[in-house]
Structures are given as C-alpha cells and as structure tokens.
A and B are shown apart, each in its own frame.
Chain A
C-alpha cells in the first residue's frame, strides 16, 4: 500500500476545510469547535486540530489530505502535519487587510518544508477584495526567495482546487505528461 500526503494550510477563513471537502473522495473528518475569539466575527466554528480527506487513486495508492488549523496558537500542529508530505497548498484570504503579513507568516512557518518540497499558493475570496495586488504578492515571494505558482481560486470550486493540486504536482516534476483527457466533446 502506497500512502502519500498533501497539506493544506493558510489564514483563518481562507477555505482550507472547504477545499479539502471538494476534492476528497471520502466524507471529510473535521475537528471543528465553536469560535471564541475575534474569529467569531468571521465564522461560527473553526478547525482546532486538523481536517482530513482522502483521494483514492487505486486499490494500492492513496493520497491523504490534511488541513491545518489557521490560528497561530495551534501552529504546533503545522509542523506535525507537514512531516513527510509531498507538498503544501497555501490558501490566503485576499479580502483580509494584512495579506503580506499572512503570506510571510506561513512562508516562515513552513520555511524548512518548502526548501525540500513544493508549495502552491491559492488566493481566495478575491470577489470580496478590491483587487489582487499581484506585484506585492510576487515581491513578497521574491523576498522569501520562493518561486511558486500563484492562482486566484474559489475554495468551493473543484476545478480551481484541482488545478492548484495539478500545479503542485507539476512543479515537483514538470515532465509528467498531463494531457490525459479521455472525453471528447
């Protein structure tokens, strides 16, 4: 049995749990608790330990999807969950006021992991923001010496999340043929 792992992390309310839900082949196992601090203004409940989903590729191969809690006080979970993962999907809420700080915080937290593995960045909730400042985002990545795919995504949209994961895989190995498309319309 071959087992692999992909991590979903990012800011509170960015859509990590939703993203896992839309691509998981199983009912997602969540550890939601009622929000008690400033998060309460954003949403009723929040992830406190992890979200867990799974992609079953065949009888012998499984990709486990783990979502980290967004709040920094649970950051001890981030490193634990990231151990042995293939890559990191980082979701950033771009309707928030401190996008740069958020990106820097997560890139710093996963610095060692990113050095050895791949990362893709999904910018969510762009419909609620006044526009994405791509210049600032790429400058922030450059300051962290990171060249990663950055896409605008809707965490509820399966196509968007699939493309993020595809980009993650292809940024590890771009030579894999990605043209398989058996349906002709």
Chain B
C-alpha cells in the first residue's frame, strides 16, 4: 500500500516536480491525499512556514506520540533527531524519496508490532486542526489582499499609490495598468511569505517617479497573478464559493508569468464555458485547491469574471485523438 502524503510549505516548482514523481514512478510508494489525514508530510524547512510546521509537529509528537512521519527537505540536513522526522538534503532525487518511503514503512511496521497505545481520536483532531490551518489562508492578510486594496484605490482616485513594506515599495498606477517595483522581481516571493496588515503595509497616494532608485515595471495583471500564486503556495484561498460560476475571459501569459498547477488545462476548460470550481475540479480530475488558487489569481488579475446569472454548464467530451495528445504532451514535457 502506498503511503498517503501531503506536500507542504514548498515552492510551486518543487511541489510540481515531487507530485509529478509521485504520480508516475513513485506511485507504488506514495499517494497524494488532499482530504484525509496522511501518514507522511513532505515539507521544505528552509522557509518560515516549514520551520513553524516542523516545530508544531515536534510539539505534538511529544504530547500525543503522533504517528505522522515527516520528510524534511533542507539545504543543510542535521542527523535525524527524532524517529518521525527524516531530513534530506535539497535537491532531492527520486531515489532518496524512495529510500525515505522504505524507511517509513519499516518504522510503521515496527510501531504496529509494538502496538503502542495511541489515542486515535486525539490524533485525528490534531491532524484536522493542523490541516485546516495549513491548507487555507486569508488573502486579505497577505500581500495579495494589500495589492487588491491598492489597485482599487488607484482606480477609484485615478492616481498612483505606493505600498510600503519595510524597505520595499510597489507603485500601482491603474490608469496605465502598470506597477513599479523598487526591488528585483525575485524578491516578491519573500514579501508574499509575510503576514501583512494595515500597520505593516502602508498604502499612500504617491509615486516612485521622484525616487532616486531605478524601478522595474510590469503590468498590474502580471503582478497580481504572481502575487496571488506566491501567497497561496499550494494552499487554498478563503472566501471563494466553490459553487459560483466563473468564466475566464483571457488566458494568463503563462510563458512569462508564474505557472500554477494544471494552469493550461484549467484555462482551456474555463475559456470554453462558465463552470464552477467544483465542476472544473471534477471534469479535470484535479485537486480543488489548484482550481481555487488559479481562479483567485485570475480574478485578481482581471482575467476572469464571476457569472451573476446561472449558466448552463456543458459537460466536456474528450477528443478522439486523446492517446495521441497524451503522447505529444509527454514528449513536450520531457523535452
């Protein structure tokens, strides 16, 4: 039986690579689970969120003798201090993941033999509590929410506004649809890790034009899209109705913007007809979190709209050439 696994606190690309491995070569060792408490959690502990989750796990392990095993990915692994945590150096290879799975299987079977007394109810409670916290987030408490406010303000007041977060500044100019960053684009990821509120992120009506440093310009749509995905980090944004109907008006510029999981498939289906989040997830047979992340980013970048009137949802029929298309996609992915 494959070990049920959750991937947490890691970048989009790591998540995509590892889940790609699990769904193909690694399917006899792991299976990704979204809804059930899992046997294994793979997390990146080189970021704040990963460190926090690891600490929570260690605390719970001491109290409840939690049976969840952690595969912690880090650039500088230390010797495994606790039997439930296996540290592995980044970048991790498929062989190392398979070895970790075999080690966990051994640990689990040893535990079953010794039949340690575990309070299953308490564990389920802890796990589900942990899952709720980890798998969803409130966009208004992140850069995503602050950016929404700034865009609305700039649009309403017909003026430039600047977001101040520590030494970082972002100018939003809704009249020309451009944003200006006072820092390199790759630093945006760091800003998306911070929880923000009105005291840690100030929004002022001003411009960076007079500032001495050089600014990087990009479209507000690109900034909003990237920020939404970086803030989500595979978690599900709150306050989205799974049953409302949405339609994608434009494709995200995926060769230049951050790719999200299944973005091409989701965009393709959502431009064909209006669908609900649940319908897209079911039609494509993909995790609902990925659909929620996509539509959250698409709404923020004004690529999608919410259909107010009930729309007729037409089930999509698969194409006759689907085996050819699968081969071609495999070829392109490997290239």
A35 near B: Cβ within 8 Å?
A: no
Question: Which A residues from 160 to 185 make CB contacts under 8 A with B?
Answer: 160, 162-167, 169-185
Contact between A175 and B265, CB atoms less than 8 A apart: yes
B322 within 8 A of A: yes
> Bound state CA distance, A160 and B271, in angstroms?
21
Contact indicator per residue, chain A 131-151, by CB within 8 Å of chain B (1) or not (0): 000100010000000011111
CA distance A158 to B255 in the complex (A): 11
Within the complex, what minimum Cβ distance (angstroms) separates A48 from chain B?
A: 29
Question: Measured between alpha carbons, how far is A150 from B254 in the docked complex, in Å?
Answer: 9
| B16 contacts across to A, CB distance below 8 A | 179, 181
Q: Are B267 and A176 in contact (CB under 8 A)?
A: no
Segment with Cβ contacts to A, from B19-27, B105-113, B128-136, B145-153:
B19-27
Interchain CA distance A169-B17 in the complex, whole Å: 22
Task: Identify which of B17, B264, B322 contacts A185 (C-beta below 8 A).
Answer: B17
Q: Give the top 4 A-B pairs by smallest Cβ distance, nearest first.
A: A181-B20, A174-B268, A173-B319, A184-B21
A86 to B245, CA, bound (A): 30
Q: Using A152-B253, A184-B21 as known contacts, say yes or no to A170 and B265 having CB atoms under 8 A apart.
A: yes
Stretch at the interface among B88-96, B154-162, B292-300: B88-96
A176 and B333 contacting across the interface, CB-CB below 8 Å = no
| 20 contacts across the A-B interface (CB closer than 8 A) | A57-B327, A63-B324, A134-B219, A134-B250, A134-B253, A149-B268, A151-B253, A152-B256, A158-B335, A173-B325, A174-B264, A174-B265, A175-B283, A176-B265, A179-B16, A179-B19, A179-B261, A182-B334, A183-B20, A184-B94
A174 vs B332: C-alpha distance when bound (angstroms): 16
B327 with A178: CB separation less than 8 A = no
A160 to B266, CA, bound (A): 19
Chain B neighbourhood of A184, CB < 8 A: 17-18, 20-21, 92-94, 97
B325: chain A residues at CB < 8 Å are 169, 172-173, 176
Which of B255, B321, B329 is A178 in contact with, Cβ under 8 Å?
B329
Q: Check if B24 sits within 8 Å of A181, measured CB to CB.
A: yes
Q: Which residues of A contact B24 (CB under 8 A)?
A: 180-182
Question: Any chain B CB within 8 A of the CB of A4?
Answer: yes
Please state if B250 and A171 are interface contacts (CB–CB under 8 Å).
no
The answer to the question of A20 belonging to the interface, with a C-beta cut-off of 8 Å to chain B, is no
The answer to whether B321 and A86 touch across the interface, beta carbons within 8 angstroms, is yes
